[in-house]
Every structure is written in structure tokens, then in C-alpha cells.
Amino acid sequence: MNRANRVWAWGLAILVLGSVGAGAQDRRAAVVYVNLDRCFNEYYKTRVADAQLKAQAREYDEELKNMLAEGERLQKEFNALREESLNTALSEEVRAAKRNAAEEKVMAIREHESRVQTYRERRTKQLEEQSRRMRKGLVAEIKELIQKYARDRGIAAVLDSSGATLNGVEAVLYVDPRFDITEEIIRELNKSAPADLPPLPKPSGATPADGTNSAATPSRAPAGGRAASR
């Protein structure tokens, strides 16, 4: 090979290697990360849904409190009847009537306890189902926005950096801040947020101060290892 051909061959090799390197860099930049937990918890609609669920839970708790008060009233009436049925100062006829009334009161107490248990189970199930529906809807909105964000910018894939493996270790151990779009997504989600928002929901695993069922609070987005892909 003469000198001119060697120079041409070296130039072609450098051009090809440069193109391969640039392509690899582009591929790396085409994968970005988002913390789906943060997006979910800081989305203004999550705060609204959390407040609605807690208000509903408080209504249920108030109704349950009234039912429990009714149960206490029935129990007191039974105790009074039982004591009167044992009172020897009363005639046998009166004591027998008190015993019969006490037995009827026991049946009423049992029926009331059954109603309370049914109410608790039904309301708990309703709150859990409502929470799941809200959470599913909010996550769908967030994923749709992330997918549009990725498509508009030619991003190949968006991975969820908040996901964890089966042994509890973070699935993503490090994210270069240049490729973390969490803040941008949160800003997009909250563009139309009203000014009078309820306070932020408590972190996952926290017990609400008002004693409401934590299952009724959509406080965490389900971790799936990735949020969206193009």
C-alpha cells in the first residue's frame, strides 16, 4: 500500500471510530431517570386526593363512633336489667320479667355488634378501593406526561430511580444529575396547581395524626423499576 492509500485508510478508520463513539454517547444520553415516588408525592393532585380520602375516613370514623356509643348504651341497659333481675327486694314476677328483658337485650347487643363489624369491613374495603383507584389514575397521568416529555425530546427510555429490587436494595444505585428529569417533571405536573392546596401527605409508612386508616391515603406510587419507555 502506497503512502497516499495508507493516509486515506487511517483517516477512514478515525472517522468510523469517531462515529461509533458518538453513537454510543448518544445512546447513553437517550436514557434518563425519574424518581416516580417524588413525582407522585409532590403532584398537587395527590395532595387533593389525600385530603379527600382523609375527609371521607373522618366521616366514617364519626359514624362508627356513634354506633359504638349505641353499643355502650345497650350494654348499660343490659347491666341494669341483670342487676334488677337479681334484686330480691322485687317480686319473682318482676324479676322474671327483668330476666326476659335482659335476654332480649343480649340478642340486641349481639345484633348490634354484628352490624358494627359489617360496617367496619365495608367502609375499610370502600376506602381501600377508592385509594387504589385514585392512585392508579394519578400514576397513569404521571406516566402519560413522562411519555410525552420523552417523545417530544427524542428520549429512548425513562427509568424509575425510586424502584427497589426484591432484596430491598435500590435498583438504580447512581444517577448522573444531568440525566435526572425529576424536577422538570414535577414542574410540569404542577403547572396548573391551585393556590389553596391542602398540606403534603405524610411519607410512606407514617401513621396519620388524626388516626385515619393509612390504607386510605395514596401516599406512594407503586415502584415498578421503570416509569415509562418510548
- Written as one letter, the residue type at 95 is R
The pLDDT-based confidence of 23 (bands split at 50, 70, 90) is very low
Residue 22 lies in a domain: no
Residue 134 lies in a domain: yes
The CA–CA distances, whole Å, from 203 to 33, 77, 105, 130, 221 equal 22, 45, 46, 19, 11
Domain that holds residue 162: 28-229
The pLDDT-based confidence of 112 (bands split at 50, 70, 90) is very high
Query: In 3D, which of 62, 50, 60, 68 has the Cα closest to residue 208?
Result: 50
The pLDDT-based confidence of 223 (bands split at 50, 70, 90) is very low
Residue 70 corresponds to which cell in the numbers above?
Answer: 349505641
Note whether 216 and 56 are within 8 A (CB).
Answer: yes
Residue 60 lies in a domain: yes
pLDDT tens, residue by residue, 150-186: 999 999 999 999 887 777 777 888 888 899 999 999 9
Distance CA 5, CA 177 (A): 46
Structure confidence at residue 216 (pLDDT): 47
Residue 6 lies in a domain: no
Residue 110 lies in a domain: yes
Residue 169 lies in a domain: yes
What is the CA angle 112-85-109, rounded to 5? Answer: 5
The CA–CA distances, whole Å, from 154 to 69, 151, 171, 230 equal 62, 5, 24, 8
Q: How many domains are there within the chain?
A: 1
Residue 21 lies in a domain: no
Residue 9 lies in a domain: no
Residue 139: burial class (beta carbons within 10 Å; 0-12, 13-18, 19+): buried
